Amino acid sequence: MEAMNEKKSMPLLGDAFPKITVQTTHGIMILPDAFAGKWFVLFSHPADFTPVCTTEFVAFQKRYDRFKALNCELIGLSVDQVFSHIKWEEWIKDNLNVEILFPIIADTGIVAEKLGLIHPGKGTNTVRAVFVVDAKGIIRIILYYPQELGRNMDEILRAVEAMQISDANGVAMPANWPNNEIIGNHVIIPPAKDVKTAKERIEKSKKGEFECFDWWLCHKKL
């Protein structure tokens, strides 16, 4: 039992986001309490003043209003001092005319260790991790990218919106939603778990309540 507990060195999907006090460019914050009642995306980057990370921060900022419209905040992180974050923000504003409005964590390595952001096989800097946390402080999505690959922020936006719709309607979201190759912008009704429900699915589809390819693949428009 002890060995199993040791193996789980980082939070997993469905876990509560660990309570951490962090120094940020917006001052001291306690996570996840600082975003109580809101979703948030915590994303790590390898280092300030690096080219791929600079493109990512500009991309996140340009979509910040769209995240906020989903009741979702952004917070960055790297193992750099807060002074470095501030100077890098200034450089981005002066040279790219983009003002970074979300906070950036100045990590000493404690947060990176707790969240599993340093992968020895990819060097000593934090990888490009993404943690999507819901309004109850539960981790819903975890993504990892190597240092050499910048993230697709539109996909992260899509994922947040899709999870919120899934939660609100008790449905699942198809691949590439809302542009799925089979069912377009429809959502998926979770598969039946018993014979009675499976039969009812077919009957309900005949009445036009939703559409089914079979009892286990039914979908509807929201």
Q: The dihedral of CA 20, 24, 29, 31: what is its sign? A: negative
pLDDT of residue 3: 44
CATH topology of domain 2-169: Glutaredoxin (3.40.30)
Whole-number pLDDT of residue 70:
98
**Model confidence band, residue 146 (pLDDT cutoffs 50, 70, 90):** confident
The answer on pLDDT for 37 being more than 60 is yes
Q: What is the pLDDT, as a whole number, of residue 110?
A: 85
**Residue pointed to by tokens 């979703």:** 39
pLDDT of residue 124: 63
Tell me the C-alpha distance between 108 and 203, whole Å.
59
Answer CATH for 170-222 from 3.40.640.10, 1.10.3720.10, 3.40.50.300, 3.30.1020.10: 3.30.1020.10
pLDDT tens string 187-199: 999 988 899 988 8
| Band of residue 7 on the pLDDT scale cut at 50, 70, 90 | very low
Q: Taking the domains of the chain in order of start, what are their residue ranges?
A: 2-169, 170-222
pLDDT in tens, 99-112: 999 999 998 888 88
**For the whole model, what pTM was predicted?**
0.90
Q: Other CB atoms closer than 10 Å to residue 182's CB: what's the count?
A: 12
Indicate which residues carry an active-site annotation: 53
Compute the distance between CA of residue 180 and CA of residue 138 in angstroms, rounded to an integer.
Answer: 27
pLDDT single digits (tens) 173-192: 999 999 999 999 999 999 88
Average pLDDT over residues 109-125: 79
Nearest to 37 by CA among 73, 2, 87: 73
